[in-house]
């Protein structure tokens, strides 16, 4: 049995949530029994998914310090009572509650959890947690560079494992029809993201007036929620493109699949905002599954999720002119856009599936697919 310690788990939305849910399902499909200790569901109105019978789930609520304490106590008890042969943590913060697991352990690393200028106390916490891990798997070379200053001689050498993409659903006809009405005469730009400044949505909105001169039917769909919604809406009004931008809020799986399948270009020109930066970017790979070329920002690990000139374009997300130029190039060059989309789909469906990536995680734990159970 493998124990997963995580603060982020479905049905809450987000890249880490999708990763940890997919990991649990992939382990179960490979014959492992999985026990997940996760935080309570945060989103309002979200319902617990149907988990396979080989996945047992316990959730922990209450204030964060109490939640962490209860989860750590539960994990230590389980290690003495159950035949656990490995522990996987979604971040150093989760592994911290179980400092000496006594079995092979793997901590995943995403980027934002490694601040460039932490307090002395936080630095010690991160160093202790990483030193107690059996293996560390950052999601990109960029994330590896962020965590490197926290590695003590006792810590294992990180091994980069690019994130996998679970099989994406075929959109049902009714969801496709909704997107067809949304796009109008087209083209349709798409962003799926938590609404925060580093995603570069404002730069896409800023490029719309010029793009609309050539493409009168241009529309921009933004799926996701976040604190930046009001600012972005105000910007669309200020730029005179309010009617072209559709803020869709959180969308269900069917609508998201239809958006990916029906859009012409995925645009998320990320940039650094203070200590906040994109460690990788799973949504780029989800879009690529549907053959959708992407525009990414150069800051962070997005340039490893989108291969510049191969599966999309990478630009300087801090430069509005560079974002506008890259968007125009992709919209104007249909053969280029199609070639990038085809290559992106081939990459994720061959190299970045759970079947390809799970053995790498298991190898870091020193076990093979289906070992134990």
C-alpha span between 334 and 356 (Å, rounded):
31
From the list 221, 207, 187, 128, the residue with the least C-alpha distance to 338 is: 187
Are 221 and 281 within one domain? yes
pLDDT at 373: 41
From the list 191, 207, 210, the residue with the least C-alpha distance to 278 is: 191
* Residue 17 falls inside a structural domain: yes
Tokens of 22: 């997919």
Q: Please give the average per-residue pLDDT across 286-292, as a whole number.
A: 97
Q: Which CATH number do you get for residue 95? A: 3.40.50.2000
Beta carbons within 8 Å of 182's beta carbon, 6+ residues apart: 188, 219, 221, 246, 262
Beta carbons within 8 Å of 173's beta carbon, 6+ residues apart: none
Encode pLDDT of 85-107 as tens digits: 999 999 999 999 998 889 999 99
pLDDT at 276: 80
Are 282 and 345 within one domain? yes
C-alpha span between 345 and 334 (Å, rounded):
17
- Work out the pLDDT band at 154, boundaries 50, 70, 90: very high
Q: Higher pLDDT residue, 327 or 65?
A: 327
Q: Higher pLDDT residue, 368 or 167?
A: 167
Q: What percent of the chain has pLDDT over 70?
A: 98
pLDDT at 275: 74
Task: Report helix angle 173-183 to 253-262, nearest 10.
Answer: 50
CB 276 within 8 A of CB 322: no
Are 97 and 232 within one domain? no
Q: How far is CA 205 from CA 119, 269, 285, 332, in A?
A: 37, 11, 22, 18
pLDDT at 111: 86
Are 259 and 141 within one domain? no
pLDDT at 368: 66
Q: What percent of the chain has pLDDT over 90?
A: 86
Are 180 and 317 within one domain? yes
Boundaries of domain holding 121: 2-164+354-365
* Residue 371 falls inside a structural domain: no
* Residue 373 falls inside a structural domain: no
* Residue 370 falls inside a structural domain: no
CB 51 within 8 A of CB 17: no
State yes or no: pLDDT of 372 exceeds 90.
Answer: no
Are 275 and 239 within one domain? yes
Long-range (24+ apart) CB contacts under 8 A made by 113-122 are 114/143, 114/146, 114/147, 114/149, 114/150, 115/275, 116/146, 116/275, 117/275
Are 12 and 120 within one domain? yes
Average pLDDT, the chain: 94
State yes or no: pLDDT of 369 exceeds 70.
Answer: no
3-state DSSP assignment of residue 150? helix
Q: Is 84 exposed, middle or buried (0-12, 13-18, 19+ CB in 10 A)?
A: buried
Are 198 and 276 within one domain? yes
Are 298 and 207 within one domain? yes
Are 66 and 88 within one domain? yes
For the chain, the first-to-last Cα distance in angstroms comes to 5
Which helix or strand (DSSP H or E) is residue 105 part of?
strand 105-109
Where do the H-state alpha helices sit in 96-228?
120-131, 141-147, 173-183, 201-214
State yes or no: pLDDT of 179 exceeds 50.
Answer: yes
Are 44 and 179 within one domain? no
What single-letter DSSP state applies at residue 273?
B
Are 194 and 107 within one domain? no
Per the structure, the count of domains in the chain is 2
pLDDT at 371: 44
* Residue 372 falls inside a structural domain: no
- Work out the pLDDT band at 72, boundaries 50, 70, 90: very high
* Residue 232 falls inside a structural domain: yes
pTM of the model: 0.85
State yes or no: pLDDT of 370 exceeds 70.
Answer: no
Q: Please give the average per-residue pLDDT across 191-218, as a whole number.
A: 96
């Amino acid at each position: 049995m493998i124990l997963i310690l995580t603060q982020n788990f479905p049905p809450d939305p987000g890249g880490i949530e999708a990763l940890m849910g997919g990991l649990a399902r992939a382990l179960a499909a490979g014959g492992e029994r999985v026990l997940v200790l996760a935080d309570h569901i945060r989103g309002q109105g979200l319902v617990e998914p149907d988990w396979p019978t080989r996945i047992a789930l316990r959730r922990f609520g209450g204030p964060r310090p109490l939640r962490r304490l209860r989860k750590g106590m539960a994990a230590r008890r389980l290690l003495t009572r159950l035949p656990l042969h490995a522990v996987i943590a979604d971040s150093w913060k989760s592994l911290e509650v179980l400092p000496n697991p006594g079995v092979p352990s793997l901590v995943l690393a995403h980027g934002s959890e490694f601040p460039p200028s932490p307090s002395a106390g936080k630095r010690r916490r991160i160093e202790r947690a990483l030193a107690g891990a059996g293996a560390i798997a950052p999601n990109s070379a960029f994330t590896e560079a962020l965590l490197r200053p926290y590695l003590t001689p006792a810590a294992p050498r990180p091994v980069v494992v690019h994130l996998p993409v679970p099989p994406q659903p075929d959109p049902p006809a009714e969801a496709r029809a909704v997107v067809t009405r949304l796009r109008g005469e087209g083209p349709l730009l798409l962003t799926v993201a938590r609404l925060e400044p580093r995603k570069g949505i404002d730069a896409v909105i800023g490029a719309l007036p010029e793009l609309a001169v050539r493409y009168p039917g241009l529309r921009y769909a933004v799926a996701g929620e976040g604190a930046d919604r009001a600012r972005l809406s105000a910007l669309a009004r200020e730029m005179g493109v309010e009617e072209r931008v559709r803020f869709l809020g959180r969308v269900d799986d069917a609508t998201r699949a239809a958006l990916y399948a029906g859009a012409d270009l995925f645009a998320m020109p990320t940039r650094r905002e203070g200590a906040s930066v994109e460690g990788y970017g799973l949504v780029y790979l989800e879009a690529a599954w549907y053959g959708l070329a992407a525009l990414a920002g150069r800051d962070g690990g997005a340039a490893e999720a989108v291969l510049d000139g191969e599966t999309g374009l990478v630009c300087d997300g801090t430069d509005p002119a560079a974002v506008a130029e890259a968007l125009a190039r992709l919209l104007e060059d249909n053969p280029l856009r199609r070639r990038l989309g085809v290559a992106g789909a081939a990459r994720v469906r061959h190299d970045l599936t759970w079947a390809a990536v799970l053995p790498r995680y298991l190898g870091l734990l020193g076990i093979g697919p289906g070992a134990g159970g």
